[in-house]
Structure 1
Amino acid sequence: MKRGIKTSLIISTYNWPEALNLCLLSVTRQSVLPDEVIIADDGSTFETAELIDKIRLSFPVPLIHVWQEDEGFQLAKIRNKAIAHARHEYIIQIDGDLVLHKHFIKDHIELSKPGTFITGSRVLMNKSLSEELLSTRVTNASVFSSGVKNHFNILRIKFLRDYFADRYKQKDMLYLRGCNMAFWRDDIIKVNGYNEEFKGWGKEDNEIAVRLINSGIKKRAIKFGGIVFHIYHSENCRAQSHENETRLANAIKHKITYCQRGISQYYNLRTGISI
C-alpha cells in the first residue's frame, strides 16, 4: 500500500438524496478512507443539504458540500468548483448514484502514479436490485447477485488489475468513465479543469481526458479493481449531445491542452487558493 498520498473524493449529485445516502454509507465502509469527501451538488433542493448536514455529524472524514444554483445540467461547472475546494494532492471522482466496493479507494491509491490519470468502469444493476439496496442500505453485491449485469466488472483480482493498468484500451483515447476516475490535482489545474462550454449531458469527461493526454499525462485503466455498482435510473436528456461531440472533436483535432472557461474562475493559479 502506497503511503503518504492524501486523497479528496469528489461525489457529483443532483436531487437524489436516497442514492447519495447509500453512496456515502459505502464510503464509510472503505478499507482505506479518503482524507476528505466533497459533494459537488449541481443545484439540488434542500433535502440533499439536510441529508449532508445530518451525515456530517458522524462522518469519519471532513464532508464538504459545494452547491450551485440549478440552471440546467452543468456537471463541468460544479466539478470545477469542487476541485477548487479540494485540499489534497490526489482526486478520486465518482457520481452519487454509485455504491463503492470496500476496497475502491485502496485500489485507486495503489494504482496512482505520477504523470498518469485513471479511468475505471462500473457494474450495472437493474431496477429491482437497485431498489433492494436502497431500501436495505446494503452496500455490496456479488457476481451471484440477481440483477447484476456485465459480471466481468465485478471481479477484483489484484495481479490482473496491475497487469491491465497500462494495457486495457490504452490506444483508445475516448475510453473513459467520468463516474469512476482519478487524477493528480496539479495535472487538472494545468489543463484548467473541466471545459464549462459543455452543458447538458455528455462528453465533458472525454474532453478533459483528451486535454490531459495532449498535455503528456498518460491514461491508465482500472480493471479487476476500483469496483463500483451503478444504481439504476432512467437516462439523462441528451439534447445537447451534438454540440458536445463537436467540442470534443475539436479538442482531438487541434490537440488542445487548455480550456478558457475552466477552473481558473474559482482557483487562483498564483496563490493556489480557492476564490
Structure 2
Amino acid sequence: MKVDIKCSLITPTYNWNEALELLLLSVLNQTVLPNEVIIADDGSKNDTKILIEKFQKNFPIPLIHIWHEDLKNRKPKIMNQAIAKSNYEYIIEIDGDIIMNKHFVEDHLNFAQKGYYLYGSRVNIKESILSTIFSKKIIHFNLFSSGIKKRARTIRLPFMMKFTEIVATRSSKLRGCNMSFWKSDFIKINGFNESLVGWGIDDSEMIERLHNIGIKGKRLKFAGIVYHIYHKEQDKNHIEINNEIERLTKEKKLTFIENGINQYL
C-alpha cells in the first residue's frame, strides 16, 4: 500500500443531495481515507450546503465545499477551482452520482505511478432500485446484488493489475467518474478547458492533452470499483462544439489551453 502518496478526492455536484449523501457515506467507509474531500459545486441550492455542513461536523478529514453561481453547466470551471484549492500531490476524480467500493481510494493509491494516470469502469445501478437505495442509504453492493448492471465489474482481484494494459492514446473506455492523475501533470496542461460548453468531453479532452505531453494511461480492472447511480441523460445540445474542440486538440497535439486552471493558481 502506497501510504506515502497524499491525495485529494474531488467530485462535482449539482442539486442531487440524495446521491451526494451516499457518495459521502462511501467516503467514510474507505479502507484508506483520502487526505481531503473537495466538493466542486456547480451552483446547487442551499440545501446542498446544509447537507455538507451536516457531514463536516464529524467528518474525519477536511471536507471542503467550493461553490459558484448557477449559470448553466460550468463543470470545467468549478473543477479547475477545486483542484487549484487542493492541497495534495495526487487527484482522484469521481462524479457526484458515484458510490465507491470500500477499497476504491486504496486501489487508486496502490497503482498510482509517475508518468501515468489511472482510469476505471463503473457498475450501473438501475432506476428501479433508486428509491430503495436512497431511503435505506445503501452503499454496499456485490456480485449478487439486485438492481445492478455490468455485475462482473464488482469483482475485485487487485493482483490482476499485473496484466493491466498501458495505453499511449486515449481509450474510448475512459470515464471521468473514475480516474486519477498527478496534480503537477494537470497543471502542466492548464487543467480543464473552460471553453467547452454544456455537458461532455471535458474529461476526455483534458486526458488527450496529458497524452500529448507523454503521459500514458493505465486501466483499472478488478480494482477501483465504483457504482454509478442511474439518472436521465444530460442535455447534449452543445456536444458538436465540444467534439470539435477535442478533435483539434488531438489533431494539433495541443498540450496547453488558455482558458484553464492558471487563472486560479
Give the structure 1 partner of residue 204 of structure 2: 206
Range 250-259 or range 135-144, more displaced? 135-144
Query: C-alpha offsets along residues 180-232 of structure 1, whole Å, 9 cap, x if unaligned?
Result: 11000000000000000111111111100000000111111111111110111
State the match for 1:57 in structure 2.
Answer: 57
Q: Does 1:73 align with 2:73?
A: yes
Q: CA deviation at 1:3?
A: 2.5
Shift of 1:256: 0.3
Shift of 1:122: 0.7
* AA of the residue aligned to 1:252: K
Counterpart of 1:84 in structure 2 is 84
Measured at CA, do residues 171 and 259 of structure 1 come closer, stay the same or move farther in structure 2, by a change above 3 Å?
Answer: closer
Out of 230, 233, 238, the position equivalent to 1:232 is 230
Q: C-alpha displacement at 1:161, in angstroms?
A: 2.8
The aligned amino acid for 1:220 is K
| 1:99 is aligned to 2:71 | no
Code of the residue aligned with 1:38 in structure 2: it is: I
Match of 2:245 in 1: 247
2:3 — aligned with what? 3
Give the unaligned 5+ runs of structure 1: 268-275
Give me the CA root mean square deviation. Answer: 1.2
Contact 2:121 2:173 in 1 (8 A): no
Cα distance in 2 for partners of 1:38, 1:134 equals 22
Identity across the alignment (%): 46
CA offsets 1:74-120 (integer angstroms, 9 cap, x no match):
11111100000100000000111110000000000001000111111
What's the counterpart of residue 181 of structure 2? 183
- Normalised by the length of structure 1, the TM-score is 0.94
Q: What letter is aligned with 2:84?
A: A
Q: Trace 1:1-275 onto structure 2 (pairs within 5 A).
A: 1-166=1-166, 171-267=169-265
- Runs of 4 or more, structure 1, over 3 Å off, are 169-175
For residues 96 and 236 of structure 2, the distance between their equivalents in structure 1, rounded to whole angstroms, comes to 19
Q: C-alpha separation between the residues in 1 aligned to 2:52 and 2:162?
A: 35
Kept in 1: contact 2:170–2:217 (CA 8 A) = no
The TM-score normalised by the length of structure 2 is 0.97
| Structure 1 residue 163 displacement after superposition | 1.7
